[in-house]
Amino acid sequence: MIDLITLTQKGLTDQEIKQIVKNNNLQTNSKAGKIYYDNMNTKNRLDKFYIRIESNHHMKLMVSFHKYYNLLKTGRYDNSNLFNMNEVSKTAESIGTETGLKMDELNVYGYEIGMNLYLSKDCRKYLDKIQTIGILEAKREFFVNPKYKNERLKTTYFYREMRKVFKVYDKNFEMTEKKRITNPEYPFILRIETVFNRVEKMTMLKFLSPDNMQRMTDQFLRDWRTIGFDCELSVPKGTNIVRVDLCKEILRNGTDKVLSDAKEKHKQGFLTEKQFRRIREFIQNEWDTFKTVIKKRQSIEEQEFRKVFEYAFKIVKH
């Protein structure tokens, strides 16, 4: 489940730097008169990991545990299969052996936990219906990331202050864009990821401990079980689509937020006075009665997502 991870170490000695540079064939570079070392020119070709040592003797290592594990097992730097937590520690040991780094002493700066879901239809069918994750005050909305075409990736807000970000995307589409070979046996892979940024006071020794592995696994399960899809509604005959959409929004976010958002849209000119009044009057005068005659049901896509998620989770947690 552990994918891309960023590890750091401060205060390296000159001898330690010399040894790391030698072990990993790092290049000597200069910027503004300051010397630093990295493998930027070869990392894409070797496709394993990125190491950089700054002039202040701080080191950064970036590597995908999932892809590195597959590289050792199959010769392919790939994360489109399932990767369980028991394989994480073994992978860390292998990376330490290859790089010559003392992995337990490195500090975790950021990491991703991900899982692949093998579905029956084009991933857009699911992505188009995924809307939120979390409950109550912790609920977050998913947005299409415009950086990627065809609306194949959605994320929650990922501005700098966000230490935890959720992502869901079409894995095969991503691999095709990067000119990687996909497996025709699994044409529809939806990948879900939780990204943690700027982790504080976490060594790799603690990160890899059984208790922490269990805690991260349990949190991943709790988070992704709360994913919210666009629901399907059974409504009285003659109910127009505008009212159906309003009902969905109320069920998703609650009356207070819907009314508050409508007020703001009206203030900014996105809703006319008539449109705002209809929303307000429906919430205040009709909703309590109307909600008793509608029925909410999961879409076929949501049902499949939840079933496949639970199945895949049982495999990767061990």
Listed in sequence order, the residues at least 6 apart from 307 whose beta carbon sits closer than 8 Å to its beta carbon are: none
Q: Which amino acid is at 222?
A: R
Q: What is the C-alpha separation between 120 and 123, in angstroms, rounded?
A: 9
One domain, residues 160 and 185: yes
Q: Given this model, what pLDDT does residue 45 score?
A: 47
Q: How many folded domains does the chain comprise?
A: 2
d(CA 221, CA 313): 8
Q: In this structure, are 35 and 48 located in the same domain?
A: yes
Does residue 130 share a domain with residue 259? no
10 within 8 A of 16, measured Cβ to Cβ = no
Verdict on whether the full-model pTM lies above 0.95: no
Structure-block tokens of residue 205: 């020794």
Q: Please tell me the predicted confidence (pLDDT) of residue 271.
A: 94
Q: Which domain holds residue 25?
A: 2-229+306-316
pLDDT per residue as tens, the chain (318 positions): 899 999 999 999 999 999 999 999 999 999 899 999 999 877 554 558 999 999 999 999 999 999 999 998 988 888 999 898 889 999 999 999 999 999 999 999 999 999 999 999 999 999 999 999 998 888 899 999 988 889 999 999 988 888 999 999 999 999 999 888 888 889 999 999 999 999 988 999 999 999 999 999 999 999 999 999 998 889 999 899 999 999 999 988 889 999 999 999 999 999 999 999 999 999 999 999 999 999 988 999 999 999 999 999 888 876
Of 60, 169, 56, 52, give the one whose Cα is nearest residue 115.
Answer: 169
Q: Are residues 56 and 179 in the same domain?
A: yes
Mark whether 12 and 153 lie in a shared domain.
Answer: yes
- 107 and 192 share one domain: yes
